[in-house]
Amino acid sequence: MKKTLIKRVSVLVVVLISIMSCSPEDGADGTNGTNGTNGSNGTDGLNSLITTLIEQPGSNCSNGGFRIEAGLDLNDNGILETSEVDTSEFLCNADAAGLSYLSYVSLLNQTGTNDPQSSVLENTLGLNIVWTRESQGKYIGALDGTIDIGKTVIFYTTPTTHTGVRGEVVGNNQVRIELQNGINVFADDFSNLSFELREYE
């Protein structure tokens, strides 16, 4: 009888201890851990650039117009290079047949690191253009008068020594041309590049 009573008391004690250890009350909070170290700053994002170029008459624009190029400045030089262009759109001119215009037509020649020289063939615009070599294959033309950008188109030919020419109206008194020989490789030395600045009335 005594053994049975001791067993029952022992079981009762174990049950009470179990109930007490499962109390729903929260325990005391532990101490806060230390903050982790700050991560390193990320690199700056790239700038987006947009440039507008003259589009010669052809399959993209039958009467010429403008090509708008956009992309990220991958080399961070502030210039949208050909290899950085992600997208391009065309704004084409309407049929200009029958519209009157004034023009400046010349042949351009350049050698070494010299500035391009021009032989003027026609000049009903009554202005002069002085060309300066900016860097290899890149040239800026300063006009001694102003043009209406919204009515002006550049026409030019690609010399046989080069693979491409890009033309751009920079402002109402400045134009730029770039000559390439290979992909994104600008090159000097050309002859008889036909250049025309045409302003419609």
Question: What DSSP letter does each residue of 125-162 carry, written as one string?
Answer: T---EEEEEEETTEEEEEESS---GGGEEEEE---TT-
Give the pLDDT score at 122: 95
With a cut of 50, which residues of the chain have pLDDT below it? none
Element (H, E) at 4: helix 2-21
What's the CA gap between 46 and 32, in Å, rounded?
40
Give the pLDDT score at 32: 85
DSSP 37: P
Contacts 24+ apart (CB under 8 A), 71-80: 72/46, 72/47, 72/48, 73/46, 73/47, 73/48, 73/49, 74/46, 76/46, 76/47, 78/47, 78/49, 79/49, 80/49, 80/50, 80/51
Give the pLDDT score at 91: 78
Give the pLDDT score at 160: 87
Give the pLDDT score at 97: 62
Of 150, 180, 151, whose CA–CA distance to 167 is shortest?
Answer: 180
Question: What DSSP letter does each residue of 98-112 carry, written as one string?
Answer: T--EEEEEEEEEE-T
